[in-house]
A and B are shown apart, each in its own frame.
Chain A
């Protein structure tokens, strides 16, 4: 089973909202759609994306629980070949990347 990690993204949230809005879609069906979404996004990220990002900043908090790392960084610069993005605060949620095993969150 793929990580449900990506449901809280623009793509995932807009899907969830759309599923909520359509009353013809039963909750059971909506769940199936979301599970399918999980698979699709995990596959797409693994196979279709090929770029690299560097970042640096200061670590405000860190948490490791249930094999999930959660960090909060401050004053971070995200650097890609093309451009640079600076943010005051960012939260990073990371699931275990070794052979996506568990159903996660």
Chain B
């Protein structure tokens, strides 16, 4: 696309709306006694979500793009001053940002916190490739034993996580408080002089509703497993698997938002399992265990039909009155499927709706607008609409007027 004919009005519109809202809301925040920083966090979260959704093209303004470029240049220069290997670490996550787009724009923020000391917060955070909502918060504290420097990560919720770097070079995260839950893949081992790419991707998922007590979440070198309720798609986290020849711990926890109860039960199990494992184990058995971990968990998928349906209970109850006990046993073995098969032909004719399945999955293309006039002649409909926002095939469009025809 050498030249775009018309500039897309959507990013500018969204930007202006965001600015308006944030500015109007600033007073409200102050009245409520909420810090300005929270307002900035809100804005950042909002913008990041918009970027992640890919619904808007070229969402970032040119100014911010220039800012990022400048910040990246500064990062590269200053890190070359400190250590060579670390500069490679910074470069690699940035290179990987292009295809992935999930490791996002935290670099400018990270780099703002850089200091001259060895493994600074920036290098740590760069290697951690923080996603949305986490900003490194560096605080030099007298060490505890063999820990050289404590680096703290401050998440969107204001929780402070301590990133501890042990003597063997592995990094792991101490979560002193309960409310933050992390999904993480860790590639450890920065071998000096080696051309390794220890890129660590985190998916930080703030917890909604609170899991029950999970104090002192895990810290083992090279293993960090935490459950998250809000699922960022695991495809994001799985980008690491492509790198061969390096120790990888891939531990996935797949959960759906609605399965909070299951998650609460699953979490302590997961915590115990990695704790039972030894220290430096080869990657393969751990991956197997990771897979095993996902299996015993109760299925977290949203189940809409099938054996778990409530309606089947009613059918089974009715049938038990009518049929012999033998057939009841058969139903129990088959999970009630026989019962449903016999009932379905009777009731299935009543149902016309085909759409329920379609509506549940994928982007439904939606247009939200106002109508000026809706007209019908026989089965010919004419629509006169205005001020609309459309989401079609995953992309956002806007219009001030829309005219349409359809036949019913």
Q: Contact between B406 and A57 (Cβ–Cβ < 8 Å)?
A: yes
- Does B166 touch A at the CB level, under 8 Å? no
- Does A1 touch B at the CB level, under 8 Å? no
Tell me whether A90 and B53 are in contact in the complex, defined as CB-CB below 8 angstroms, given that A14-B46, A25-B42, A82-B5 are known contacts.
no
Binary contact readout B5-40 vs A (1 if CB under 8 angstroms, 0 otherwise): 110010001101110110011001100101100100
Q: Contact between B400 and A50 (Cβ–Cβ < 8 Å)?
A: yes
Segment touching A, from B102-110, B211-219, B276-284, B366-374 = B366-374
- Does A103 touch B at the CB level, under 8 Å? no
User: A50: nearest residue on chain B (CB-CB)?
Assistant: B400
| The residue from A39, A44, A72, A92 contacting B13, defined by CB atoms under 8 A apart | A44
Q: Contact between A91 and B371 (Cβ–Cβ < 8 Å)?
A: no
Q: Contact between B398 and A51 (Cβ–Cβ < 8 Å)?
A: yes
Q: Contact between A87 and B392 (Cβ–Cβ < 8 Å)?
A: yes
From DSSP, what is the main secondary structure of chain A's interface residues? Answer: mixed
Binary contact readout A1-34 vs B (1 if CB under 8 angstroms, 0 otherwise): 0010110111100110111111111101100110
Q: How many residues of B contact A (CB 8 A)?
A: 71
Q: Contact between B17 and A40 (Cβ–Cβ < 8 Å)?
A: yes
Chain A residues, Cβ within 8 Å of B393: 85, 87
Q: Contact between B24 and A92 (Cβ–Cβ < 8 Å)?
A: no
Q: Contact between B156 and A21 (Cβ–Cβ < 8 Å)?
A: yes
Q: Contact between B402 and A52 (Cβ–Cβ < 8 Å)?
A: yes
Q: How far is the CB of A26 from chain B (nearest CB, A)?
A: 7
Q: Contact between B358 and A89 (Cβ–Cβ < 8 Å)?
A: yes
Q: Contact between B25 and A8 (Cβ–Cβ < 8 Å)?
A: no
Q: How far is the CB of A25 from chain B (nearest CB, A)?
A: 7
* A33, A59, A91, A94, most chain B CB atoms within 10 A: A94
Tell me whether A55 and B404 are in contact in the complex, defined as CB-CB below 8 angstroms, given that A14-B53, A36-B28 are known contacts.
yes
- Does B139 touch A at the CB level, under 8 Å? no
Q: Contact between A45 and B45 (Cβ–Cβ < 8 Å)?
A: no
Q: Contact between B13 and A49 (Cβ–Cβ < 8 Å)?
A: yes
Chain A residues, Cβ within 8 Å of B157: 21-23
Binding site for A on B (CB under 8 A): 5-6, 9, 13-14, 16-18, 20-21, 24-25, 28-29, 32, 34-35, 38, 41-42, 45-46, 49-50, 53, 55-56, 133, 156-158, 179, 206, 208, 355, 358, 364-372, 374, 381, 383, 385-393, 395-408
What 6 A-B pairs are tightest by C-beta distance, nearest first? A97-B370, A14-B49, A18-B45, A94-B371, A59-B406, A59-B408
